[in-house]
Chain A
């Protein structure tokens, strides 16, 4: 199997805080990989380093064969990203924002692509509304669209379902499951363990910046273990260590 994402001894320090501590991680093509961890465990920093949004203080990261440290723009050209806080620009409408994304990514026929997404995520009525006036859920739809509109080989998503209603969550989960069947890869960061257990093929647990565990979800299922219970016991043990 081809490795699409690899972190070697990846570390990040903010002042005295060790946000990510020598993490080694690999993700294979076609995986729907979940990075799990409590609040403040370093998940968002990991995604930021993997996508070249922030520089590691140690180690290296290779994404789709590109060095994230020396060529961050190259990485962002190839991947799709949904950041932790969805922030489409204020004074563009939803359609204009997608046109902007299309122009930056040099995508042909952006309006047809955008229209498909407006229909699919059921927000066609908002396409001419200013981004700053959109509800949280609709902004999340827009950010989801911009991350997938160029059909990237790898998408990195920070909390993919957090602002969606149950119907939309169901739709998006199905979309993600279908997406990886096309030999594409998805890397999600979440602390909603039930969702991770339901949709992920592989997972890693991060706590206080350290990697506690990584492996396939199938291994847990074979042992008749559930991801939430496994996660809680591991994190609690580390907390008392």
Chain B
């Protein structure tokens, strides 16, 4: 059991380091550490305009969202192990020939992934803040506590979504019932106390008033969520044959107005039949954004009028750009290697499907604008969200080609991505805050987006279409 876990950890390291070099991968947490370290020096400045408590809320919500976005293991069942790296994930394949249950294999895989995310994201960030503490005047004990509560936030997001996704895989009705019950519980709590329920988030409570009992309670809740999720995990039965009526030909006809109808039809069928269309939308888009909305609503007074809607639209745009990872997770170049298709054609195809998926964020931002009583700014908010999304995906395609899930851990890739996206986010946040209607100007981002896509095609056609 432990040997398998260690072997999986080694394999994960080697897959990444083979792709872009040990140094580039090893420097990834160093960069996160550096960002947190330098960012810590901005905290005193930020506190002049925003109470420290609100910064804490933003940090915790970010880590909760990270956990939510990576936690939907149950959604794909065993497929998740195969899909991460295909046949390069040799252990996920070969370990099935060992006398180990599917549950043990899967548990090892999930724990390994969690540990990896912890070392890549959570620890370096908390570590950066901790090391900067003596220079920023923050007590070390406080920085240590932040590291602990950020870890808990990440784990709460991960374990909750892991459980929800395993329930979803077993019964859609039960999942919706459970989600409804959770929402009703939060709403009830909010009505009974007259407080935003986000403030009852255990890691936040723990950060504001640490107690060993609260810490123990949090750990117990996490253990229960994780344990139940593992127990409910439903390994895909081997040898079952699923048959479907032909959907490809009708879909190609329906998508005939697009540039690559066969590729878009294939990707759409992949998303639909794998359960990812609904599942990913719920777990990787709506849930994180709902959480963000909860937490951002606490910060409303610190934004200019209508600012909350536009901050939300920008966040939705960034998360919507990750839909590119949904359409690239099912295959690499391998299945196309025997066909007259270039990598650039595949990138085009994936981006076409991505563009179709943008109906989801567009509808979501519009719905939020209406629900928030900001219908007058619905169009600028949708335009801003989608422009950011297309701009970010252009950069992603240029930097990562068909492998955004893997290439993100190349420190050079992440750095360039953060800088280029960060510039656009900062500029258009300021512009939208100055005048909400100016957000319509974000449509100019489509020009660099198209430029990056063109560069992506040239770049990825010029290298061997191997790897993941």
Residues in A lying within 8 Å of B, measured CB to CB:
48, 51, 53-55, 72-74, 76-77, 80-83, 85, 87-93, 95-96, 99-101, 103-105, 128-130, 133-134, 143, 146-147
Kindly state whether residue B335 has any CB partner on chain A within 8 Å.
Answer: yes
- Compute how far the CA of A47 lies from the CA of B424 in the bound complex, rounded to whole angstroms: 45
Interface size on B, residues (CB 8 A): 33
Rounded to whole Å, the gap between the CB of A190 and the closest CB of chain B is 17
Identify B335's interface contact among A87, A105, A128, CB under 8 A: A87
Rounded to whole Å, the gap between the CB of A47 and the closest CB of chain B is 10
Closest 5 CB pairs of A and B: A103-B262, A96-B248, A81-B338, A77-B340, A76-B340
A54 in contact with B266 (CB, 8 Å)? no
Identify B244's interface contact among A51, A55, A93, CB under 8 A: A93
Rounded to whole Å, the gap between the CB of B238 and the closest CB of chain A is 10
A85 in contact with B87 (CB, 8 Å)? yes
Identify B248's interface contact among A82, A88, A100, CB under 8 A: A100
Q: Which residues of B contact A53 (CB under 8 A)?
A: 337, 465
Q: Which residues of A contact B244 (CB under 8 A)?
A: 93, 96, 128, 130
Known contacts A85-B87, A89-B331, A128-B246: A104-B338 contact under CB 8 Å: no
Identify B270's interface contact among A89, A101, A128, CB under 8 A: A89
- Compute how far the CA of A19 lies from the CA of B363 in the bound complex, rounded to whole angstroms: 52
Identify A90's interface contact among B87, B252, B330, CB under 8 A: B330
Q: Which residues of A contact B245 (CB under 8 A)?
A: 128
Contact with A along B322-345 (1 / 0, CB 8 A): 000000001100110111111000
Kindly state whether residue B249 has any CB partner on chain A within 8 Å.
Answer: yes
29 residue pairs of the A-B complex, CB under 8 angstroms, read A53-B465, A55-B464, A72-B342, A74-B340, A76-B338, A76-B339, A77-B340, A80-B338, A87-B331, A88-B335, A89-B270, A90-B270, A90-B331, A91-B273, A91-B330, A92-B266, A92-B269, A93-B246, A93-B248, A96-B244, A96-B246, A99-B248, A104-B340, A105-B339, A105-B340, A129-B243, A130-B273, A134-B241, A147-B338
Rounded to whole Å, the gap between the CB of A213 and the closest CB of chain B is 28
Interface residues of B in 224-259 (CB under 8 A from A): 240-249, 252
Contact with A along B303-325 (1 / 0, CB 8 A): 00000000000000000000000
B334 in contact with A73 (CB, 8 Å)? no
